[in-house]
Amino acid sequence: MKYILAALPAELPEHNLDSEQYTVWFTGVGKINAAMYATLACAQTDCEAVINYGTAGTLTPELAGQLIQVGTVMQRDMDARPLSELGTTPMDSEFAGSIVLSTSAYTCSTGDNFVTKTPELESDIVDMELYAIAKVCKHFSKTIIAYKYVTDLADDDAVEHWEENHSKGAEAFLAMT
């Protein structure tokens, strides 16, 4: 069984996924909610893999409106300097600040804030759940695959554009499953 974790039903509003192959769970927004559902998914005896599908902002205009697979994810809002570098949890040597998910060149930084200006930690896209899901999956030695639909340019208009575009990537994602 593959567990698809999406933050909100609005991001994956209609789906006809085979219930013999996929279970869809909506986690709610943010890293804590995402970590909780990722843990529950990984604890299922039939869990073969976890797929995170959701939306993301970008600072690279060419990515807007695209569905991309994430290659590496970082934790944007972990700032414990001077104990450790930006994006790195102090005294946590397991992941060294980033988690590799695939060979894709795209990077994602996760944080518990809706990005409307350039964050200090650079990445191709920004979201609010993936790092937590990836860390839990890696801890439980479960396959994690992540696809993000880029809804906005992470600027002053990001909220408005996210609201207009958050359901647009679902069709492209479902076509891949």
3-class secondary-structure state, position 110: strand
For residue 104, give both structure tokens: 């894709």
Which domains, from first to last, does the chain contain? 2-170 (3.40.50.1580)
CA distance 135 to 172: 26
Q: How confident is the model at residue 92 (pLDDT cuts 50, 70, 90)?
A: confident
pLDDT of residue 14: 78
Condensed to tens digits (0 to 9), the pLDDT of residues 1-57 reads: 999 999 999 999 878 889 999 999 999 999 999 999 999 999 999 999 999 999 999
Looking at residue 30, its pLDDT comes to 98
Give pLDDT, residue 60. Answer: 95
Closest CA to 50 of 109, 130, 137: 137
pLDDT attached to residue 101: 98
Q: Are 152 and 161 in contact (CB under 8 A)?
A: yes
Q: How many CB atoms lie within 10 A of CB 54?
A: 27
CA–CA distance, 99 with 26 (Å, rounded to integer): 22
Instruction: Evaluate if residue 176 carries a pLDDT over 90.
Output: no
Sequence-ordered list of residues with C-beta below 8 angstroms from that of 98, at least 6 positions apart, any chain? 72, 73, 74, 87, 107
Which residue type is seen at 96?
A: A
- Residue 177, pLDDT score: 85
Closest to 4 (Cα-Cα) out of 125, 153, 170, 123: 170
**Chain segment 102-156, per-residue pLDDT in tens:** 999 999 999 999 999 999 999 999 999 999 999 999 999 999 999 999 999 999 9
CA distance 147 to 134: 12
Residues whose CB falls within 8 Å of the CB of residue 89, separated by 6 or more in sequence, listed in order: 75, 78, 80, 95, 97
